[in-house]
């Protein structure tokens, strides 16, 4: 999932787990990845937070931000691409 998100947003993979917020694109990419991990893959907020070296309250905030922005057709396309790719990978596991 992280590879897909970083590729779509054009950021370095290390940026998603970086300790700093980063620029707007990096922050949105991280929020998107957290949203997909929590909502799409079913990880708890705590698990998602550990995955990205963030607190669970940050994950909750990221999910709220992404939900509010789902009306943006471009962001919705990105989310669908990430979710479809992750779903295909999950479904292909033995």
CB 59 within 8 A of CB 38: yes
HSE at residue 65, side-chain half, CA atoms within 13 A, is 17
Residue 31 lies in a domain: yes
Residue 71 lies in a domain: yes
How does pLDDT run across 5-57, given as a tens digit for each residue?
999 999 998 988 888 888 899 999 999 999 999 998 899 999 999 999 999 99
Average of per-residue pLDDT across 45-74: 95
Where residue 72 sits, what CATH number does that domain have? 1.10.1750.10
Residue 91 pLDDT grade (very low, low, confident, very high; cuts 50, 70, 90): very low
Question: What is residue 90's predicted lDDT score, i.e. its pLDDT?
Answer: 42
């Amino acid at each position: 999932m992280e590879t897909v998100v970083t590729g779509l947003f054009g950021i370095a993979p290390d940026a998603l787990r970086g300790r700093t917020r980063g620029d707007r694109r990096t922050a949105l990419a991280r929020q998107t990845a957290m949203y997909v991990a929590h909502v799409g893959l079913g990880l708890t907020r705590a698990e998602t937070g550990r995955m990205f070296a963030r607190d669970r309250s940050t994950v909750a905030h990221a999910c709220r931000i992404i939900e509010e922005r789902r009306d943006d057709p471009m962001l919705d396309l990105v989310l669908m691409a990430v979710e479809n790719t992750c779903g295909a990978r999950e479904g292909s596991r033995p």
